[in-house]
A and B are shown apart, each in its own frame.
Chain A
Amino acid sequence: MTTITTPTTSRSTSTTATRVLGTVALVLMAWVVVSGLFLTPADVVQLESVRIMYVHVPSAWIAYLAFVTTAVASAISLFRRHRSLGFDRVAGASAEVGVLFMAITLVTGSLWGRLTWGTFWQWDPRLTTTAFLFVTYVGYLAIRRLDGTPRQRARRSAILALLAVLEIPLVHFSVVLWRSLHQEASVLNTDGDVRLDGLMLFTLFSGVIAFSAAFAWFVVHRQRVAAMEDLRLTSGLDVALAERRAEAIPS
Chain B
Amino acid sequence: MIRRTATAVFRKDLLIEWRSRALLTRVVPFAVLVLVLFAIALDSEPLVLRAGAGLVWMTTLFSALVIVQRSFELERRDGALDVLKTLGVDGTALFLGKAAALIVQLLTLVVILVAGAVVLYGVNVEPSALVLLVTTALLGSCGIGLVGTLYGGLVSGTSGRDTLLPLLLMPVTAPVLIGASRATESAFGGDAIDATTAWAWVGLLAVFVAAFAVAGAVSFGPLLDSDS
Direct contact, A vs B (beta carbon within 8 Å): yes
Total contacting residues, chain B, CB less than 8 A: 34
Q: For B182, give its contact among A152, A170, A178 (CB under 8 Å).
A: A178
B10 within 8 A of A: no
Is A152 touching B226 in the complex (CB atoms < 8 A)? yes
Chain A binding surface SS class: helix
Among residues of A, the one whose C-beta sits closest to the C-beta of B227 is A152
B167 within 8 A of A: yes
**Stretch in contact with the other chain, from A19-27, A36-44, A137-145:** A137-145
Is B204 touching A177 in the complex (CB atoms < 8 A)? yes
Is B167 touching A135 in the complex (CB atoms < 8 A)? yes
CA distance A6 to B179 in the complex (A): 59
Is A147 touching B170 in the complex (CB atoms < 8 A)? no
Among residues of B, the one whose C-beta sits closest to the C-beta of A151 is B226
Chain A positions within 8 Å of B200 at CB level: 177
B127 within 8 A of A: no
A248 within 8 A of B: no
Among residues of A, the one whose C-beta sits closest to the C-beta of B170 is A135
**A: contact size bracket:** 20 to 34
B209 to chain A, nearest CB (A): 11
**Stretch in contact with the other chain, from A154-162, A195-203, A215-223, A232-240:** A154-162
Encoded as 1 (CB less than 8 Å from any A CB) or 0, chain B from 191 to 206 comes to 0110001001100100
Given A143-B155, A155-B226, A174:B167 Cβ within 8 A: no
Is A170 touching B211 in the complex (CB atoms < 8 A)? yes
Chain B positions within 8 Å of A167 at CB level: 171-172
B219 within 8 A of A: yes
Given A159-B154, A160-B154, A175:B171 Cβ within 8 A: no
A132 within 8 A of B: yes
Given A142-B164, A145-B160, A177-B204, A171:B171 Cβ within 8 A: yes
Kindly list 12 other residue pairs between chains A and B, CB separation below 8 angstroms, not including A143-B155, A174-B179.
Answer: A139-B167, A143-B164, A146-B155, A156-B223, A156-B226, A167-B171, A167-B172, A171-B171, A171-B174, A171-B175, A177-B201, A177-B204
Q: Spell out B's residues near A (CB within 8 Å).
A: 150, 154-155, 158-160, 164, 167-168, 170-172, 174-175, 178-179, 182, 192-193, 197, 200-201, 204, 207-208, 211-212, 215, 219, 222-223, 225-227
- Pull 29 A–B residue pairs with CB atoms less than 8 Å apart, ordered by A: A132-B171, A135-B171, A136-B171, A136-B172, A139-B167, A139-B168, A139-B171, A142-B168, A143-B164, A143-B168, A146-B158, A152-B227, A156-B223, A159-B226, A160-B168, A163-B150, A163-B172, A163-B215, A166-B211, A166-B215, A167-B171, A171-B174, A173-B175, A174-B175, A174-B204, A175-B174, A181-B182, A181-B192, A181-B193
Q: Spell out A's residues near B (CB within 8 Å).
A: 78, 132, 135-136, 138-139, 142-143, 145-148, 151-152, 155-156, 159-160, 162-163, 166-167, 170-171, 173-175, 177-178, 181
